[in-house]
A = this chain, B = another copy of it.
């Protein structure tokens, strides 16, 4: 029985990570679980995020996953360490891969991070960067307008451009960063606008791309890469409104998602 990669998220944002996993690891099977009923996690207490995350994890463990991706910045900040300690399978979050990629490309060690208010105030990226190199200067900026805009499908046009311009303004003034981490799984959908606003001299890092890259390494390192000939049949589960989930997924993905099911966890 082939084993899948489990992907959990507070809602739909983690679909950008799933999309990258499907692109970079086209033979691997995914089981995605989005807690759309209780999202967003950003404003919730640590206790709630931990409890909800464990419910999702336990649900996926029953499906015999071989590796878990926590495709949510808030859940990664609050639960990664305990999941890594307590589970027998590898657990990958979305924060550390972005941090390592930024260290790779930054020449001046001045790195910007944008994300939700929860992610930025948690300083999770700063901790991940300083875990490797304490001399790195980190400039964090919350961009609370981006998630609602992306979920409403506003990815182009004047409103989107103005929102990006106004939100990023504080990062453009006198900070000298040469690298910017998109510290929220929704932001890759407006990467083109962010890159345009910041200028081509700024290297933009997408956590989803980097997370998929690191999943690829850990699968190989643990000898878990699928080497059979069967095509994957991905499964997508949502705790809440399936219509919205499907609508967003069909805009974000190049092809419609194949198999979407409701799931009740509590």
A residues whose Cβ falls under 8 Å from a Cβ of B: 24-27, 90, 96-97, 100-101, 103-104, 131-133, 135, 209-210, 212-214, 216-218, 220-221, 225, 227
* Contacting pair A100 B132 (CB below 8 A): no
* Contacting pair B96 A220 (CB below 8 A): yes
Which A-B residue pairs are the 6 nearest by beta carbons? Answer: A104-B213, A100-B216, A24-B103, A26-B133, A214-B217, A100-B213
C-alpha gap A96/B131 in the complex (Å): 25
A22 to chain B, nearest CB (A): 11
C-alpha gap A103/B24 in the complex (Å): 6
**Interchain Cβ contacts under 8 Å between A and B, 26 examples:** A24-B100, A24-B103, A24-B104, A24-B132, A25-B133, A26-B135, A27-B132, A96-B217, A96-B220, A97-B217, A100-B213, A100-B216, A101-B213, A103-B213, A103-B216, A104-B209, A104-B212, A104-B213, A131-B220, A131-B227, A132-B216, A132-B220, A132-B225, A217-B217, A217-B218, A218-B221
Chain B residues closer than 8 Å to A217, beta-carbon distance: 96-97, 100, 214, 217-218
Q: Supply 20 further A-B pairs (C-beta < 8 A) apart from A27-B132, A96-B220, A214-B217.
A: A24-B103, A25-B132, A25-B133, A26-B133, A27-B133, A90-B221, A96-B217, A97-B217, A100-B213, A100-B216, A101-B213, A103-B216, A104-B209, A104-B212, A131-B225, A131-B227, A132-B216, A132-B220, A218-B221, A221-B221
